[in-house]
Amino acid sequence: MLAAMDAGAVTNPGSAVPPSGAEPVTDDASAMALALVEAAAAPAHGDVPVGAVALVDGRIVASRHNERERRGDPTAHAEILALADAAAALGTWRLGEVTLVVTLEPCPMCAGALVAARLGRLVFGAADPKAGACGSLYNLCADPRLNHEVPLTAGVRADEAAAQLSGFFTDRRN
């Protein structure tokens, strides 16, 4: 499973964040900085700037941004794309060793995918009071009725993530 990671099978070729180098990411704020860089690539093709970075032991295994407009696919959220890439890189759909760092609180679809993937940990930046399913409206990651609970850390670099989103929508209105 880790052989694919070691061989460099990482991320989407269109990702804004390069594959892991020699130095692992050691803290949530640094990982979120990478997710913010990834999110910044989305507006170039008309997508909302949400970025996600998947890490195993501090090493990037996948990095994606929203591509709903680019693909014409309602499921092409950054989280879903990063989960798929991480599963491919690791050779398994069970992502218990993966930490997913995303700039915006996941929606119900994405939170459900995190649970289904048995994700090891979630870190997110800005809360989403209109669609957030990891604490704002619902908390699918901590519902004991489901077959897995995802430990999470919320609010990492939240102001920066929120500003990135607000700036995008301000520009769209002008």
Residues designated as active site: 79
9 to 20, 86, 101: CA distances (angstroms): 11, 9, 19
Looking at residue 19, what DSSP letter applies?
A: P
11-14 contacts, C-beta under 8 A, 24 or more apart:
11/60, 11/61, 11/62, 11/63, 11/64, 11/85, 11/89, 12/62, 12/63, 12/64, 12/81, 12/85, 14/41
